[in-house]
Structure 1
Amino acid sequence: MTATLPFLPFSKPSIDEATIAAVGEVLRSGWITSGPKVQAFEAQLSEYFGGRPVRTFNSGTCTMEIALRIAGIGPGDEVITTPISWVATANVIIAVGATPVFADIDPATRNIDLDKLEAAITARTRAIIPVHLSGLPVDMERLYAIAARHKLRVVEDAAQAIGTRWHGQRIGAFGDLVSFSFQANKNITTGEGGCLVLNNADEARLAEKYRLQGVSRSGVDGIDVDLLGGKYNMSDIMAAIGLGQLANIEAITAHRRALARHYFDQFGAGFEAASGAQLPLADFENSNWHLFQIILPDNGPDSRAAFMTEMAAAHNVGTGFHYAPIHLFSMYRARGFGEGMFPCAERIGRLTVTLPMFYSMTPADVERAVAAVKSVLLK
């Protein structure tokens, strides 16, 4: 029916001509690694997050690992997180020598269930990594009340949450350590990359050392290294893209919220009952709508694959799924995890589908995506 229409992907970056020109200027300048553009990007990010210190990195994975190191997390410690996230969220816990502990998710928000999180705290728990999944914030009052009660550090995985708010405050403008990603499908991108929002100047200096081989002093008198760091710095090429993207963040967020509203309008009040599918929580005040996801009806082990295949083959509409449950990956099974441990995460991880959502989408694109979903599910 719609196979002759152009392919509609589930995600697509939008880079304007001014940003492309700015990258060209960086390339012609001869300074393409970390330099004045990185400094400018960090300054603008700091302003965006209410004046808190911000340091940029070459991924939104190393930001979380470095945050854990800054928080003093290491061997013998436990860190609680969600099983529904990109695997990096748990991998960084292992990378610092700590033990990942999972708590199941809330079926409505699909974020970590804070009741189950608190129940998972032991004498060895030292930190929490909550994920603002799809840009929908975790309940920040409850989260930080739990952390304060048990004297835990919080590393927010806000990879998908730039532009997200909690009761009027931007995620990142308050809290503990907050990690953002600028990977290609995020609401703003630097191609790859990320940033870490920190609490004070001492943490910022420590982040700088971790991102550049642990160098604590560099100059005509030589260098000194006083901790084990890595090579995690952002380039000026990436920062030039980020500056162009950050300038449009409010328009990007507003457009995504408008697209999400249109999705709900197009699906209509009777869609869930008729299809057996579940729409996301309709939050238009806090969420940045990084992803628009539905939970499919459970029609067998191959139902999601069949749905995604038909969406592409019959309607030329791309879909994805975010995410497979981390605890069921082979590496985590080898650590003692398995089926049945987190049933809500396992059900949603098996049935979730991501529909198209990106800045250059139009209302007509939403209508096309919804028509395709209804054609597949309401046969």
Structure 2
Amino acid sequence: MSAVSTSTPPFLPFTRPSVDERTIAEVGDVLRSGWLTTGPKCQALEAALSDRWGGRPVRLANSGTATLELALRICGVGPGDEVITTPLSWVATANVVLAVGAKPVFVDADPVTRNIDLNLIEKAITPRTRALIPVDLAGLPVDRDRLNALAAKHRLRVVEDAAQSFGSQWNGRPIGSFGDLVSFSFHPNKNLTTGEGGCLVLNNAEEAHRFELLRLQGVARLPGGELEVEAWGAKANMTDIAAAIGLGQLRTIDESTARRRALVQRYFRLWDAALGFDMPPEDLQGHGNWHMFQPLLPRSLAHRRADFLEGMKVRGIGVGVHYPAMHLFSMFRAMGHGSGDFPVAEDIGRRTVTLPLFPAMDDADVQRVCTAVTEVVADLRGARS
């Protein structure tokens, strides 16, 4: 067995949000103001995000899951409808389809990008298909030109699950600045966080008003202060506490995205290719934001993934699995899915491991991770130090 140092450095998580002292002070100001729920900070964050994306309407919610669900409702998706998406995502992507009474229809992943395979989408379209939910896995965008042309050809709405792609671009245009409806998540493990939260980029004022109704009980204020309930609504509004965190994050997002890219370049330089991992696509066009760094275990070690994860944790390295192919979860098996349905997604989901990547990492942390990977793989292959 390779030796594990008795003086292991502090635990290195696979991700960690960075919140500066100025932001912490601004959150304190909100707490002292007496206005904690949706208010001026939320308005300021919506305006700042709108400016970032070319003046498009932006509305906040308390999670990226909520923004996806409300986007489907804005599109009129409901019982009897079908929505095409990928099995390689967090389960929320399919759960929101079920929440509105529709059926998620999975399409296999592209083996290179690991996103939905655009070549297979047309085969999955039926007369019941109402929308597409593409997912930018690890922040690498789906080809927006092909995607939007496909949607226009079949008159489908597109709800972009851009939960992981804040700061990503497509051909020089920021994700969120074009397209149909675009949903972002601000969960703590995302590149920009509000603690919990999300936002939806909409097409016009009418859709923005509809979202406002849906996110807060369907309540509208009439002239003179009277209330009216125009439609069903959720309880999905963001607080000013969360928005204050988001405003602070927005000040440094471009710097932190550049840092992520530099760390990934270091990973590629230091990685031992002889280990036999399939590496993430290098994104030579600079489209992605490097939300996560996810090599795929060699196929000969796929059945030992739990042991690999444990070996990394023993060495003080945080790891994750993002994501298992969701159609293999028991809920979707009960709907008729099973092994072999989407072989590319299953292979990726079986072998993926998420390694540490966040802006506060030191260059030395990357070397530490690479060394740990080499040691753990040696152990799994039965090598002796």
- Give 1:302 shift: 3.7
Alpha-carbon separation, structure 1, partners of 2:302 and 2:247:
44
2:90 aligns with one of 86, 100, 112: 86
Q: Is the 8 A contact 2:302 2:351 kept in 1?
A: no
Alpha-carbon separation, structure 2, partners of 1:218 and 1:337:
48
One-letter amino acid of the counterpart of residue 133, structure 2:
I
TM-score of the superposed pair, with normalisation by structure 2: 0.95
Alpha-carbon separation, structure 1, partners of 2:213 and 2:14:
37
Alpha-carbon separation, structure 2, partners of 1:230 and 1:53:
20
- Give runs of aligned pairs for residues 21-40 of structure 1, distance below 5 A: 21-40=25-44
One-letter amino acid of the counterpart of residue 355, structure 1:
L
One-letter amino acid of the counterpart of residue 326, structure 2:
I
1:136 aligns with one of 134, 137, 140: 140
Q: Secondary structure at the match of 1:101?
A: strand
Cα 1:281/1:221, change in 2 over 3 Å: closer
- Are residue 289 (structure 1) and residue 279 (structure 2) matched? no
Q: Secondary structure at the match of 1:340?
A: coil
Cα deviations by residue, 1:174-232 (Å, 9 ceiling, x for unpaired): 00000000000100100000000000000000000000101123564521112110110
Which sits farther off after the overlay, 34-43 or 300-309? 300-309
Alpha-carbon separation, structure 1, partners of 2:57 and 2:367:
42
Q: Secondary structure at the match of 1:359?
A: coil
Q: Is the 8 A contact 2:140 2:168 kept in 1?
A: yes
* Identity score, percent: 61
- Give runs of aligned pairs for residues 202-351 of structure 1, distance below 5 A: 202-218=206-222, 220=224, 222-267=226-271, 271=273, 274-284=274-284, 285-299=286-300, 302-313=303-314, 315-351=315-351
Alpha-carbon separation, structure 2, partners of 1:10 and 1:353:
10
**Unpaired stretches in structure 1, ≥5 consecutive residues:** none
Alpha-carbon separation, structure 1, partners of 2:156 and 2:265:
37
Alpha-carbon RMSD across the aligned residues, in angstroms, is 1.2
Alpha-carbon separation, structure 1, partners of 2:339 and 2:322:
18
- Are residue 9 (structure 1) and residue 10 (structure 2) matched? no
- Are residue 372 (structure 1) and residue 372 (structure 2) matched? yes
- Are residue 50 (structure 1) and residue 50 (structure 2) matched? no
Structure 2 equivalent of residue 361 of structure 1 = 361
Structure 2 equivalent of residue 116 of structure 1 = 120
Q: Secondary structure at the match of 1:292?
A: coil
Cα 1:267/1:300, change in 2 over 3 Å: closer
Alpha-carbon separation, structure 1, partners of 2:265 and 2:283:
9
One-letter amino acid of the counterpart of residue 29, structure 2:
E
Q: Secondary structure at the match of 1:100?
A: strand
Structure 2 equivalent of residue 171 of structure 1 = 175
Q: Secondary structure at the match of 2:84?
A: strand
Q: Secondary structure at the match of 1:126?
A: strand
Which sits farther off after the overlay, 296-305 or 244-253? 296-305
Structure 1 equivalent of residue 63 of structure 2 = 59
- Give 1:298 shift: 2.1
Cα deviations by residue, 1:284-327 (Å, 9 ceiling, x for unpaired): 511100000010012366411010101111x2111101011111
**Unpaired stretches in structure 2, ≥5 consecutive residues:** none
Structure 2 equivalent of residue 186 of structure 1 = 190
- Give runs of aligned pairs for residues 126-165 of structure 1, distance below 5 A: 126-165=130-169
- Give 1:101 shift: 0.1
TM-score of the superposed pair, with normalisation by structure 1: 0.97
Cα deviations by residue, 1:259-300 (Å, 9 ceiling, x for unpaired): 1111001115xx1xx222111000151110000001001236
One-letter amino acid of the counterpart of residue 303, structure 1:
R
Cα deviations by residue, 1:75-121 (Å, 9 ceiling, x for unpaired): 11110000010000000001111111000001111100001122111
Cα deviations by residue, 1:12-71 (Å, 9 ceiling, x for unpaired): 111000000000000000000000000000000000111100000000001000000001
Q: Is the 8 A contact 2:50 2:58 kept in 1?
A: yes
Q: Secondary structure at the match of 1:355?
A: coil
Q: Secondary structure at the match of 1:127?
A: strand
Q: Secondary structure at the match of 1:205?
A: helix
Alpha-carbon separation, structure 2, partners of 1:216 and 1:150:
35
Alpha-carbon separation, structure 2, partners of 1:48 and 1:260:
25
One-letter amino acid of the counterpart of residue 330, structure 1:
S
- Give 1:376 shift: 1.8
- Give 1:328 shift: 1.0
Alpha-carbon separation, structure 1, partners of 2:292 and 2:320:
10
